[in-house]
Every structure is written in structure tokens, then in C-alpha cells.
């Protein structure tokens, strides 16, 4: 007898994709809370996950929506994310040049002097530097692998539905 949790990808692939996006995005925010602030390209990679979560939530709330086009849309969103992550990995590895701007975390305040001081003291977060890696794979690399796997998952479920 299989667990309901283990059968979810087959039973409700749209919900599974939404949960996967939520877990991946929560992991990104977890790293941020641990002090690994995102660069500009890291932020770009979060937006498709937010869209995936919204699509999955709407599809789950309205079960009469046809699943096949939703699975295709989810596959395209995961593919966009994989493309962004793959580009970011290339920038980190210096295979190609990335964006020319860097980002930093700044607190918003009512005082102009405090705001200026916060901007001047904010750390620069470079897109071409690897902040964290495991087994030689950066966060962007893991994101690429996860987004690619979810693209394949959604396309297979699309094909089989």
C-alpha cells in the first residue's frame, strides 16, 4: 500500500508542481534568512516559482479547469526558470558575461541620512560570485537541476494526460 504523499505526483501533478515550487522558493528564502542574500539574477529565478504557485493554486481551487494546458503552462514556467538558472550558472563559472549591476539589501527609513548611510553600508551582492555550493554545485546550479527535472515531469504528465 503506497503513501498518499508518494502517490501525489501521479494523482495530482498540478498540485505536486505547486508544492515543489513552494518548497524550492522556501529554500531560497531560508538561505536568505541564513545570511546568503540574493543577487539580481537570483531574484529573477524566484519569479517563475511565484507564478507556478499562483497557477497551481488557481487550478486546485477550480478543479473543472482542463489540466493538460495547465501542465503545459507549468512546464513552460519551469523551463523559463531553468533557463534563468542555467544563465546564472554560466555567469558564476565565467563562461559568459552577466549583468553589469549588482544588488544589495537596504532597509527603508523615513530619514534621508539614515537611508543614505544604509545604502552606503549595504553589501554588494555580485551575480558572478558563488555564495554557497555543495559538491561543487552552486545554488543556481541546484535550481537549474530542480527546474529542469520539474519541466520534464510536467511535460511527461502533459503527454500522458
Per-residue model confidence (pLDDT) at position 131: 82
Per-residue pLDDT of 72-108, as tens digits, reads 999 999 999 999 999 999 999 888 887 765 554 445 5
Q: How is the chain split into domains, by residue range?
A: 4-100+127-160
* pLDDT greater than 90 at residue 157: yes
**CA-CA distance, 115 to 106, in Å (whole number)?**
8
Per-residue model confidence (pLDDT) at position 1: 47
Q: Please report where in the chains the cell 533557463 appears, as a residue.
A: 83
Q: 9-18 burial string, b = 16+ CB within 10 Å, else e?
A: eeebbbebbb
Per-residue pLDDT of 2-50, as tens digits, reads 555 556 567 899 999 999 999 999 999 999 999 888 999 999 999 999 9
Tell me what the mean pLDDT of segment 54-71 comes to.
Answer: 95
Per-residue pLDDT of 107-127, as tens digits, reads 556 777 776 666 566 666 777
**C-beta of residue 15 within 8 angstroms of C-beta of residue 56:** yes
Per-residue model confidence (pLDDT) at position 101: 57
Which of 106, 105, 104, 56 is CA-nearest to residue 77?
Answer: 56
| pTM of the model as a whole | 0.80
Amino acid at each position: 500500500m503506497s503513501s498518499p504523499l508518494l502517490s501525489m505526483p501521479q494523482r495530482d501533478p498540478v498540485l505536486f508542481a505547486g508544492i515543489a515550487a513552494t518548497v524550492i522558493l522556501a529554500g531560497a528564502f531560508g538561505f536568505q534568512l541564513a545570511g546568503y542574500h540574493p543577487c539580481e539574477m537570483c531574484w529573477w529565478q524566484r519569479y517563475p516559482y511565484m507564478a507556478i504557485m499562483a497557477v497551481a493554486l488557481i487550478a486546485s481551487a477550480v478543479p473543472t479547469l482542463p489540466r493538460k494546458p495547465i501542465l503545459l503552462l507549468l512546464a513552460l514556467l519551469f523551463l523559463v526558470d531553468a533557463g534563468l538558472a542555467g544563465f546564472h550558472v554560466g555567469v558564476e563559472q565565467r563562461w559568459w558575461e552577466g549583468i553589469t549591476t549588482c544588488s544589495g539589501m537596504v532597509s527603508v527609513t523615513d530619514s534621508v541620512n539614515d537611508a543614505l548611510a544604509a545604502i552606503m553600508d549595504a553589501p554588494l551582492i555580485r551575480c558572478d560570485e558563488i555564495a554557497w555550493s555543495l559538491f561543487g554545485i552552486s545554488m543556481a546550479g541546484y535550481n537549474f537541476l530542480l527546474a529542469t527535472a520539474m519541466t520534464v515531469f510536467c511535460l511527461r504528465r502533459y503527454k500522458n494526460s
